[in-house]
Structure 1
Amino acid sequence: MDVTIWADGRLRTPDEPVLTAVDHGVTVGDGVFETCAVHHGVAFALTRHLARLEASARGMGLPALPLDDVRAGVRAVLAAAGERAGRLRITVTGGPGPLGTQRDAPHEQRPVVVVVAGPAAAAEVARAVRVPWVRNERSPLAGLKTTSYGENVVALARAREHGADEALLADTRGRLCEGTGSNVFVETAGEMLTPALETGALAGITRELVLLWGREAGLPVREARPDELPWEVLDDVAAGRAHLALTGSVRHVTPVVRLDDVDVTPGPLSQEARRVFLERLPQDLDP
């Protein structure tokens, strides 16, 4: 396994245990994480990712993050991994705890930080399928990047079964929400729109930068109004009346070329947004 691991203040080998069997991140998914792309040994947009990691931890009710430890782990892992690193994952678990969902008292909690770097390959296009499950925009975890990823595992497995690399989900009100590990942009009526965060979509770092850098480049890109992108807009994509693109930390901006069992055409705005993003990225690795 070509990964570099840091935990508890030092580098670890891939087969070395780093978590106890009663870690709350293992027993009940009580933890948060971030994934960054790595370019020339630098974790892209690390400041934004750490800010979101802190926000997720607060939303989960975890103790204040030991950011000095996190940054030390990032430095150590990237230095050891060198040019092999294409992605970086920072995980903070609730630490050792009861076997049930209850936590220890705040003064007894000992969060665990694990930082891992490994290779990554970014595809130029994406293939997606619609799945029957939904995001619960009223969940206490809505908008948080937590280690409770079981729903995403099941949905992505469905996508893989159908030859796709991403699954698309609606929210409980029938609005387009997001993918299992990506945000969605729909190119329609001369604009490029991404679902509102009130659908339960994650506030993706790449999504944020596409909105920012796209506007600076003069692209008609914006967050949709809450009910502006119903689930049925994907029928327009399948029929060729609209276009679709996915964004994420490692995939960057990838136009969708197949939806369910239909080949679809990448939109001109989606392709231009990809070009703008890849042009801006090396100019500012921590925007």
Structure 2
Amino acid sequence: MSRNAQNGRRVVAEKGSGTQQGDGLVVWADGRLLAPGERVLSPVDHGVTVGDGVFETCGVVDGHAFALTRHLHRLRVSARGLGLEDPDEDLVRTAVSAVLERAPGAGRLRITVTAGLGPLGSGRTPGEPQTVVVVAGPGGATAQPTPARAVRAPWVRNERSAVAGLKTTSYAENVVALARATAQGADEALLANTVGGLCEGTGSNVFVEVGDEMLTPALSSGCLAGITRALVLEWAADADLPVREAAPGELPWSVLEDVVARGSGLALTGSVRTAVPVVALDGVALEVSPLTQQVVDLYAARAADDVDP
């Protein structure tokens, strides 16, 4: 074990951690870039023991984190939702610059902030410094966006949860649902909420064509306030495309039956996924409708104009 001189945290350094240069990952933690093969992990970090942390994942375009300002704003909102102090934005930006300078070909960036060291239970240690980890790696917005294949999950989001709409490190529900989707040959699982409304995917927001419009569930459904979701809504409004947030209750779970019946009209958005059409739902092939294609093309064009919109 070693003791970090900056904040006195006890950490465990392990070999073979996945920070090897060959894996394409560059890791910043506890105020420094890690050496290849080095891992810094506290076994009693509250982010590890109980998932007491928040995170953001950004696409990387030409060596820059896409929409970083929006992501840092949402990181702060999620931290406040958990009752954590605001993350040190200057420190995070410094870490982002450091990892992207070391990984010029990266396509994905992840920022994780936890409550820091804590007890083995749910209580926190008052005054404990936060843990901040920033990782750059391959994949993401520099790659060609890939149409999605989705399935409907049998589980639901709790729109009344204490962490509804927050991007926390408590991601086990998503892991289980996505594993089920992968086993069925898909790459995303869609979830309802507890009142029978369409909510979101495990790592994406969903847009559905209804009539002559494309709608996305309201935030009151329990879905995450996605960065790409917000940009699609803003840019579609600028372009006079009929895309909007649905009114509460306007997108029931059964709307997906309509999608299957007509065989088109579904899209997903996410920071790494970008905006893509869904070409299969529960194994049923879907066509890419003209409106969906317009939305996908609009996002690609506008995202290319500004790395931090």
* TM > 0.5: yes
Distance between the aligned counterparts of 1:152 and 1:217, measured in 2? 33
Q: What is the match of residue 102 of structure 1?
A: 123
Q: Deviations over 1:203-236 (max 9, x none)?
A: 0000000000011111100000111100000001
Q: Deviations over 1:11-46 (max 9, x none)?
A: 113532222000000000000000011000111100
CA contact (8 A) 1:122 1:251 kept: no
Q: Deviations over 1:96-151 (max 9, x none)?
A: 1101011112x2x2111100011114533100000110000000110000000000
Aligned length: 284
Q: What is the match of residue 234 of structure 1?
A: 256
4+ residue runs of structure 1 moved beyond 6 angstroms? none
Q: What is the match of residue 221 of structure 1?
A: 243
Which consecutive residues of structure 2, in runs of 5 or more, have no partner in the other structure?
1-22
Q: Deviations over 1:55-74 (max 9, x none)?
A: 00000111221112111100
* Residue 242 (structure 1) shift: 5.0
Q: What is the match of residue 5 of structure 2?
A: none
- Code of the residue aligned with 1:124 in structure 2: it is T
Q: Deviations over 1:168-210 (max 9, x none)?
A: 0000000000000000000120101000000100000000000
CA contact (8 A) 1:78 1:117 kept: yes
Q: What is the match of residue 102 of structure 2?
A: 80
Which consecutive residues of structure 1, in runs of 5 or more, have no partner in the other structure?
none
With normalisation by structure 1, the TM-score equals: 0.97
* Residue 241 (structure 1) shift: 6.1
Distance between the aligned counterparts of 1:163 and 1:241, measured in 2? 18
1:279 alignment partner, SS class: helix
Q: What is the match of residue 255 of structure 1?
A: 277
CA contact (8 A) 1:122 1:250 kept: no
- Alignment counterpart, residue 71 of structure 2, candidates 49, 53, 60: 49
- Aligned-pair identity (%): 64
Q: What is the match of residue 46 of structure 2?
A: 24
Note the 1:102-251 alignment, pairs <5 A.
102-105=123-126, 107=127, 109-120=128-139, 121-240=143-262, 243-251=265-273
Q: What is the match of residue 60 of structure 1?
A: 82
* Residue 284 (structure 1) shift: 1.1
Distance between the aligned counterparts of 2:37 and 2:84, measured in 1? 28
Q: Which has the bigger relative contact order, CA under 8 A and spacing at least 6?
A: 1
Distance between the aligned counterparts of 2:206 and 2:280, measured in 1? 14
- Code of the residue aligned with 2:86 in structure 1: it is A
* Residue 92 (structure 1) shift: 0.4
Distance between the aligned counterparts of 2:36 and 2:195, measured in 1? 43
With normalisation by structure 2, the TM-score equals: 0.90
CA contact (8 A) 1:186 1:245 kept: yes
Alignment root-mean-square deviation, CA: 1.0
CA contact (8 A) 1:131 1:167 kept: yes
CA contact (8 A) 1:245 1:253 kept: yes
1:115 alignment partner, SS class: strand
CA distance change for structure 1 residues 124 and 17 in 2, over 3 Å: closer, same or farther?
closer
